[in-house]
Amino acid sequence: MARKWPSIAVILFAQVTAMAVWFASAAAASALARSAPLSAFESALLTSAVQAGFVIGTLASALLGIPDRFDPRRIFMISALSAAAASTVLVMLPPTGAGILALRLLTGVALAGVYPIGMRLIATWASGDLGLLVGLLVGALTLGSASPHAFAAFAQLDWRVIYLAAAGLAACGGLAILFAGVGPNAPRQMRLQAGRISQAWRNPALRLANLGYLGHMWELYAMWTWLAVFLAESFRRSGVADPYSTAEMATFASIAVGAVGAWLGGVCADRWGRTTVTIGAMAASGACAATMGWLLGAPPFIVIAVALVWGVTIIADSAQFSASIAELSEPESVGTMLTLQTCAGFLLTLVSIQLVAPVWKAFGWPGAFTMLAAGPLLGCIAMARLRTSPSATQLAGGRR
């Protein structure tokens, strides 16, 4: 096991750098708006195209059983280099139009071989600390997801520079993964079995863990997407001198602090149980969602305090759904089950993110954010049912 922590360090580095092409979307959209007439809808499409491609890629990967049939390091390398190539070609095109959206879609397809494969690879090193390991991975990705808001507050970079830098980082991550080892928990490589993916629904324990994850994902990315918009409006109403830059920095802090939540969630789940942590975290984040909309225009220190608590709790449970799937699945199907779970979750985010705007217009921010709270509420119910299942003894060494 001497290679465990060096390998984990390499996986974390490779995962974050390879995902840079996804993280860059928000920062590049802001820079693009300065060089081309970009509507809010077109700007959103730059990010939505990546997510749609990711859903397509993860679905194809799960159907073909790719995560469990081939060396995960090679899948990761090929995928990261493909994403880097798509981002490099992108800078040669006009800043708007079908070409740039097609390349962002292809980038998302390629990243389907990065995020879930990274989780699969890090799980092979688990020895009573699966929650911590996946929590570290999610925490690192949370920091990456927060970074565009820091760019938006300070940076005035050309959009081509942003994408080229992200492509370079992705290429580095793709090559770096070859220096990571595969842990002792790696199963033997399996042949394609088309019916394997049905386990995600036929197995009651897996079904409940996936439903809990869907409740979590309903809230997560919509909050990350819309929090800056809400904070800017709230700070403007409360008289903050520069509400937009302040909102971007507050959003960066609220998302970035989730890295601490992911780490703490992993430590606590390994010690006290997966369902305990997921139910507690979703109850807390759901309460923040139901409260935040009513704080529009409230004193900034109150709004920021709730945003920070929301940022910690909304991600504290994220890794534990993946850890639960890894523990509840048959060993030879873990990669496919993780990929399928991720596919379903990101597909759902395409709905919740887009639904916030019309609900906001109809019922205001209290209605929009309370709608998001419905996800963790249903997630709590699913994980409470899993807690009573005999299969829950497979979680965290018997700690439910």
Residue 1: pLDDT over 50: no
List of long-range contacts for 360-368, beta carbons under 8 Å, 24+ apart: 360/226, 364/293, 364/296, 365/230, 365/233, 365/292, 365/293, 365/294, 365/296, 366/293, 366/294, 366/296, 367/293, 368/226, 368/293
Q: What pLDDT sits at residue 362? A: 93
**Averaged pLDDT for residues 90-107:** 84
At residue 211, the 3 state secondary structure works out as helix
300-332 pLDDT per residue, tens: 999 999 999 999 999 999 889 988 988 888 877
Name the pLDDT band for 36 (thresholds 50, 70, 90). low
Tell me: the pLDDT tens digits for 252-277? 899 889 989 999 998 999 999 899 99
pLDDT over threshold 50, residue 68: yes
Q: Express each pLDDT in 232-246 by its tens digit.
A: 999 999 988 888 888
Taking phi over 0 as left and psi of -120 to 50 as alpha, with beta for the rest, 327 belongs to alpha
Query: Mean pLDDT score of the chain, rounded to an integer?
Result: 86
Q: pTM for the complete prediction?
A: 0.85
Neighbours of 221 (CB within 10 A): 20
How does 239-273 read in b/e, with b if 16+ C-beta sit within 10 Å?
ebeebbebbbbbbbbbbbbbbebbbbbbebbbeeb
pLDDT tens-place string over residues 198-223: 676 778 889 999 999 999 999 998 99
**DSSP type of residue 190:** -
Residue 168: partners with Cβ closer than 8 Å, 6 or more residues away? 84
Instruction: Please state, for a pLDDT cut of 70, what percent of the chain lies above it.
Output: 88
156-187 confidence digits (pLDDT tens): 667 788 788 888 989 999 999 999 988 887 76
State the helix-helix crossing angle for 115-123 and 4-18, rounded to 10 degrees: 170
Distance separating alpha carbons of residues 67 and 154, to the nearest angstrom: 39
d(CA 339, CA 345): 10
What are the structural domains of the chain?
A: 1-180 (1.20.1250.20), 198-400 (1.20.1250.20)
DSSP 187: P
**CA pair distance 260, 250, nearest whole angstrom:** 16
If we measure between CA atoms, which residue out of 61, 327, 286, 329 comes closest to residue 200? 329
C-alpha to C-alpha distance for 177 and 52, rounded to whole angstroms: 25
pLDDT at 381 over 50: yes
Of 166, 152, 398, 144, the closest CA to residue 262 belongs to 144
